[in-house]
């Protein structure tokens, strides 16, 4: 099928205005995630002495199909529609996260998931893209109309941080706080306010360290020898070498907890080697940098701020997950975007990238002005 630039259909207009390089990189990461789902599923459903089945991989295919629909649908939204969608997503995610505290599924002492018809949904995953869009809208209104964007952004952050710490989810708390500080920095907040917010973030980290034993344990393990999980992850990279031991031939993955989620990068290293790990890192770099550049070229402050914030979410989360697997960061329980198993993570990342691709589309000045 070929598309002409003279074609005035909605799909043709979307195709010729969206960043196709970023889109292809995103689709490549999703394809790699499906391959790794098949590699990790026997380990996730079995144990060290007996391989499991491919049920997780088959579920991931269904999740990926839904995520692709979300990705394309979000990228078709205009500025007003994106803001409205983000407001609805943020409200629902916040309500869902609070409900998870009382009626949610308990997994290893954490209350982050809701059971919905056999699907475990983690509402807090959707706070990040929604927060990026809404904070960009508030801060852009400040730049154009004198609206108190910083105060409203911080007020919006407070309930999200409270529910994340109660779950507890320190990793997501740190990521959302970093996103907030970055958005305020992008909007031109004075440096002394940025320093004050950074100090507040350090205070939250200290509280998390004092209140949550698992946080102290992870930091102690990291400072000592990296911990059991990261130790196995490093052994997986060592066993894989440059080209890996081959698809399905990995053995360390059967002893590695969360091989299909938090440590999927180590599975890639063992079975496909450093070559695939480098390709994954490069693809994330392409997506993040391309979206940042496209956002910087936008004429609208909202698109600039939102595009930059959404790109930062993806790049930072990927860096944290890969950094944990490589033992350069303490374990945080954070998934690798588009790669790790799980519907909530995949749907939230698809929404994030869909928003980013939509807001950074090339639009004529008149159309963009009309969409503000």
pTM of the model: 0.89
Q: Is residue 364 over pLDDT 80?
A: no
- For the chain, the domain total comes to 1
The 10s digit of each residue's pLDDT in 11-55 is 778 888 999 999 999 999 999 999 999 998 888 877 656 667 888
- Using the 8-state DSSP alphabet, how is residue 253 labeled? G
Name residues whose C-beta falls within 8 Å of residue 237's C-beta, 6 or more positions apart in sequence: 266, 269, 270, 274, 277, 325, 326
At residue 221 the predicted structure's pLDDT band, cuts being 50, 70 and 90, is low
> Quick one: which of 257, 252, 318 has its CA closest to 284?
318
Classify residue 127: in a domain, yes or no.
yes
The 10s digit of each residue's pLDDT in 150-198 is 899 999 999 999 999 888 888 898 899 999 999 999 888 777 777 877 7
> Quick one: which of 111, 114, 209, 218 has its CA closest to 164?
111
Classify residue 28: in a domain, yes or no.
yes
Classify residue 11: in a domain, yes or no.
no
Parent domain of 125: 20-370
Classify residue 137: in a domain, yes or no.
yes
55-59, 205-209, 214-218, 319-323: which has the highest mean pLDDT? 319-323
Classify residue 272: in a domain, yes or no.
yes
- Using the 8-state DSSP alphabet, how is residue 325 labeled? H
Which alpha helices (DSSP H) does the chain contain, by range?
10-17, 20-45, 55-75, 79-103, 127-145, 149-166, 170-186, 191-211, 213-224, 228-240, 264-296, 301-325, 343-359, 365-370
Classify residue 337: in a domain, yes or no.
yes
Classify residue 50: in a domain, yes or no.
yes
Q: What angle do CA 123, 342, 81 make, to 5 degrees?
A: 50
Classify residue 182: in a domain, yes or no.
yes
Residues in the chain: 372
């Amino acid at each position: 099928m070929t598309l002409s630039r003279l074609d005035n259909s909605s799909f043709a207009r979307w195709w010729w205005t969206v960043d196709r390089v970023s889109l292809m990189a995103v689709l490549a990461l999703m394809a790699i995630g499906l391959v790794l789902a098949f590699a990790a599923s026997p380990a996730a459903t079995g144990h060290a002495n007996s391989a499991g089945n491919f049920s997780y991989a088959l579920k991931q295919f269904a999740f990926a199909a839904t995520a692709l629909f979300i990705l394309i649908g979000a990228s078709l939204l205009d500025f007003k529609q994106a803001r409205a969608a983000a407001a609805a997503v943020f409200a629902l995610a916040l309500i869902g996260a609070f409900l998870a505290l009382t009626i949610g599924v308990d997994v290893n002492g954490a209350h982050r998931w809701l059971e919905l018809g056999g699907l475990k949904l983690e509402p807090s995953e959707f706070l990040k893209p929604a927060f990026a869009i809404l904070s960009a809208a508030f801060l852009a209104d400040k730049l154009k109309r004198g609206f108190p964007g910083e105060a409203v952004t911080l007020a919006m952050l407070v309930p999200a941080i409270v529910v994340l710490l109660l779950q507890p989810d320190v990793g997501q708390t740190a990521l959302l706080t970093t996103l907030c500080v970055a958005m305020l920095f992008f909007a031109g907040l004075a440096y002394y306010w940025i320093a004050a917010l950074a100090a507040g973030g350090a205070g939250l980290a200290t509280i998390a360290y004092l209140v949550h034993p698992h946080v102290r344990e992870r930091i102690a393990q990291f400072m000592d020898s990296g911990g059991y999980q990261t130790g196995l992850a490093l052994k997986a990279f060592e066993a894989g070498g440059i080209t890996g031991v081959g698809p399905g031939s990995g053995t360390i993955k059967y002893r590695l907890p969360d091989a299909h989620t938090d440590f999927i990068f180590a599975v890639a290293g063992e079975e496909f080697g450093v070559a695939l790990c480098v390709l994954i890192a490069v693809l994330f770099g392409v997506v993040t940098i391309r979206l940042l550049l496209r956002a910087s070229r936008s004429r609208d402050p909202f698109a600039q701020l939102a595009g930059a914030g959404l790109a930062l979410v993806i790049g930072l989360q990927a860096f944290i997950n890969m950094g944990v697997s490589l033992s350069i960061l303490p374990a945080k329980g954070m998934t690798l975007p588009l790669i790790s198993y799980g519907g909530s993570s995949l749907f939230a990342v698809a929404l994030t990238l869909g928003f980013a691709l939509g807001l950074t589309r090339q639009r004529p000045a008149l159309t963009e002005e009309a969409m503000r």
